[in-house]
Amino acid sequence: MSQQPPSEIEKIPTRNPNESLDKAPTLAPPSTVAAQQKINTPEAIAADQLYGTAPPSNELWQETAGGQLEGTSLWRDAWRRLKKNKFAMLGLIVTGIIIVASLLGPTLLRIATKGTHTYDFIPQQGELVRAMPPSLNHPMGTDPQGRDMLARVLYGGQISLMVGLVSTFVSLLIGVAYGATAGYLGGRVDNLMMRIVDVLFAIPYMMLVIVLLALFEKSLVLLFAALGAISWLTMARIVRGQVLSLKNQEFVEAARSIGVPTWKIILRHLVPNTLGPVIVYATLTVPSVMLQEAFLSYLGLGVQAPRSSWGTLAAEGAQNIAIFPWLIIFPGIVMALTLFSLNFVGDGLRDALDPQMRKV
- Per residue of the chain (360 residues), give pLDDT as tens: 545 555 444 444 555 555 544 444 444 444 444 444 444 454 444 444 444 444 444 444 454 455 554 556 667 777 888 888 889 899 999 999 999 999 998 888 888 887 777 776 777 765 555 678 888 888 888 888 878 888 888 988 888 888 888 888 888 899 999 999 999 998 899 999 999 998 888 888 777 777 777 777 667 777 777 777 778 888 899 899 989 988 888 888 898 889 888 888 888 888 888 877 888 888 888 888 888 887 887 777 777 777 788 888 888 888 888 888 888 888 889 988 998 898 888 888 877 776 555 544
Domain boundary pick from 22, 52, 72? 72
CB 130 within 8 A of CB 146: yes
Element (H, E) at 163: helix 149-185
The rounded distance, in Å, linking the Cα atoms of 277 and 74 is 13
Domain boundary pick from 16, 45, 72? 72
- 189 and 130 share a domain? yes
Number of domains in the chain: 2
Residues 6+ apart with CB under 8 A from 271: 176, 180, 239
**What is the extent of the structural domain holding 54?**
8-72
- 208 and 241 share a domain? yes
The rounded distance, in Å, linking the Cα atoms of 305 and 159 is 12
The CATH number given to whatever domain includes residue 277 is 1.10.3720.10
Domain boundary pick from 20, 38, 72? 72
End-to-end CA distance of the chain: 52
* Structural domain includes residue 2: no
Q: How far is CA 158 from CA 59, 65, 128, in A?
A: 40, 43, 27
